[in-house]
Chains A and B, each alone.
Chain A
Amino acid sequence: MIYLDFAAATPVNDKALKAMGPYFAEEFFNPSSPYLPAKKVAAEYESAKAVIARAIGAKATDLVITAGATEANNLAFTALSLGEAEPTFKILYLETEHDSVRRVAEQCGGVAIQVLPSGLIDLEDLKGKITDGTELISVSLVNNELGTIQPLAEVAKIVREIRLDRMRRGVKRQLLLHSDASQALNLLDVNVARLGVDLMTLNSAKIYGPKGVGALYVSHEAKLRPLVAGGGQEQGLRSGTENVPGVIGFATVVAEAKKHVKNNRAKYRELRRILLDELQGYELINKKHTLDNFVILCYNGLDAERLVFLLEDKGVYVATGAACAASKGVRSHVLKAIGLSDSEIAGSLRLSLGELNDAEQMHEAARIINEVVLAERARING
């Protein structure tokens, strides 16, 4: 098997698996219980949260643990003020955002910010769309289909200027910056202060941690409302007994990721180079400003979905667009946003590299993909 779809799912890291183990059956206590063994679990849970928080330059109390990034993204939008006449103007979001941002933003009448053909945010478009009604801007740190790294610090600079201007003019409305950093933690320096975000989504499942665990970083600027009411866990913002093993696992992989950021990037740069050198007849979609483990290939005139099934037959697993977009039967809105034609979108494959991959696998993958592409071209031509 050559797995090239790490942007969809990652295998849980051995250390994380080991660390989580005891918390299922031995240290099973409810952190809210009064007796000592439970208090010990509560303390370990809090230390784990602190590990995650420290990795992004925050404190444990700044984090709300959720059941994954989708929930964290949803929770971020509760920062909007309630009940005003023109909600249309409250939200700006990047048109290439993941559905868990897009759908919520659309529901609240958000306005999309355009991207340039490079996939980068069009900062002029952003500036033009900010009004005195804008309360929340959502721009992912790394796009989940292209790997594009957005210039978040620049967006934050604009946000700061607007805030200052509003203060000068006596406009009281909040303006917050949210960023979905799900794909980034193991490959980028993710520091909330340096990035200038008020809300940030983290995801365990994309960085070799367990699925169903995520977190929302919440700065003191943002006042949220809970989506899940109950026992008041997570500062009252996300009730429900804490997912102790999940958070322990999450913290373990965050610590690991932090240690290896530099090496990881170098490794993927080399693997990506091998692929690009040896593959034939493609056009590279994500040329610049991208995480090195994303390789988006366009085979114009071919049907990428057919390629996926042909490659699957040969033990190579790749994706077309986002994994969930494919199973919903809709074309990628991301590839459309960067200006690809329908036939280019139909012919686009997403390869996302990860820890299981090595140079040898890249040579083999390139050989198999070339073979399959050639066969498909031959089939079409007659």
Chain B
Amino acid sequence: MAKTVYVGMSGGVDSSVAAMLLVEQGYKVVGVYMKNWSEDLPGMKCPWAEDLADAKRVAVKLRIDFEVWDFEKEYREKVVEYMLSEFKAGNTPNPDIMCNQEIKFKLFYEKAMKRGADFIATGHYARTGQFECVLSGTGPSRPSSRGSGPHTLAAASGLPREKHSQLSQTRLMRAVDENKDQTYFLYRISEKALARTLFPIGEMTKPEVKKLAEKHGLHNAYKKESMGVCFVGEVGMKDFLKKYIDVQPGEIREIESENVLGYHEGAVFYTIGQRHGLYLSGEKGAVNDGMPYYVVKKDLKNNIVYVSKNLNDEHLWTDKLQLKDIVLRQSEYILSGTGPSRLSSQGSGPHTSAAASGLPREEYSRLPSILVRLRHRAPLVPAEFDGETLYFEHKIRRPASGQSAVIYDDGICLGGGIII
């Protein structure tokens, strides 16, 4: 009998093509629109009903069942509340990552499984691969999925493979379309859900997806892509925050001189490194030479935003990033017995899953030559990781606190954490 897949359909071209491919592959497909948000904001109509209609139109065309699952309450509790509290704390959270963790790959996944699904699917640009994993010690063997190379980290172990029991594990892998890869948003999803997830368009490029949509007469082939946070969009974030966070206007000061250059509507709206949307009066001797100012520091207690023209300002750069709320899907990569200071002894101790075994920090060894992504679509940067802190060879532009650093070993997304 055909396996059953519940596919999340947003009304966009990606999830529409995903659903179509699943139908072509012979699955019994059920389309689900997740209704996470429907509230209009002043001057901004929430497009949920139109999106739903778009999704449904495709489902009808594909002759598949279609349902609407209402997660509004949960979305508000798990995603919006998190987002607001992070902003209030001066951080720049990524609600889409939280939405994937809490809604799409938890509530949606759980409900689909309860309804008898064999798999869930989404229109994300990502892939999964089955890897034979050794329980304690070595990294995975060659992946069975096409498109990813040998895994360098396996070499970190000095133990012979045959000593270890093996099992197959599902790994999150970067999409073929490097430009669209969405694993940055998916690094926090549970291993359990991942094992039952299909990403039908992960092997395709965006232009291929669009072309296929056109070829099959899916009307949303040319639908404008939604950008930023799904329910407000990038432009709307400030209006959204204003509605929920009580903010006070305050000063914008130049960090070097402490001169007041202008005023802001509320420090929480600003992100370190930001250079747009600063309305500076240029008073008190600030020379208006056309060079942009960057936000370099926020003093939430005194509601002051500090800016600088100096792109080399120390606040903007760093060679290490400390992470919290770390998720490491391949915990066996964190080898025990050594700390960052004892790199030379790496690989000599007993190899257990450090994260799982709760070994003290000094028992972690550094992970050499991993790759890190600090923003969606940002280039991968080589780094080392000791289980808590990322170390970069060269200084990088410091990402805002609250954003995620996502860790890769070649094509595999190992996990990541929230930047402190």
Contacts and interface: CB of A to CB of B under 8 A. Distances in A.
A305 B53 CA distance: 8
A63 to B, nearest CB: 32
**Chain A interface secondary structure, helix, strand, loop or mixed?**
helix
A326 interface: yes
A121 to B, nearest CB: 30
B108 interface: no
Interface in A235-273: none
Interface residues of A, number: 11
Which has the most chain B C-beta neighbours within 10 Å: A306, A312, A329? A329
A20 B63 CA distance: 45
A67 to B, nearest CB: 19
B50 interface: yes
Interface in B348-377: none
B60 A327 contact: no
Contact of B57 (A309, A327, A329): A309
A379 B63 contact: yes
Interface size class of B (residues with CB under 8 A): 10 to 19
Contacts of A312: 57
A169 interface: no
Interface string A302-336: 00011001101100000000000011110000000
B63 A309 contact: no
Given A329-B38, A329-B48, A310 B53 contact: no
Contacts of A379: 63
B52 interface: yes
B49 A327 contact: yes
Nearest to B64: A379
Given A329-B38, A329-B48, A306 B53 contact: no
B56 A306 contact: yes
Interface in B244-283: none
Interface in A8-24: none
Given A309-B61, A313-B61, A327 B50 contact: yes
A313 B60 CA distance: 10
A171 B54 CA distance: 55
Contacts of A306: 56, 60, 66
Interface in A328-373: 328-329
Given A305-B53, A326-B53, A329-B38, A310 B48 contact: no
A327 B53 contact: yes
B391 to A, nearest CB: 50
A329 B60 CA distance: 17
Contacts of B50: 327
Contacts of A305: 53, 56
Interface in B37-53: 38, 48-50, 52-53
Nearest to B63: A379
Nearest to B60: A309
Nearest to B45: A328
A347 B38 CA distance: 24
Interface in B6-58: 38, 48-50, 52-53, 56-57
Interface of B: 38, 48-50, 52-53, 56-57, 60-61, 63, 66
By Cβ-Cβ distance, the 4 closest A-B pairs, closest first, are: A329-B49, A309-B60, A309-B57, A306-B60
5 contacts: A305-B53, A305-B56, A309-B60, A310-B60, A313-B61
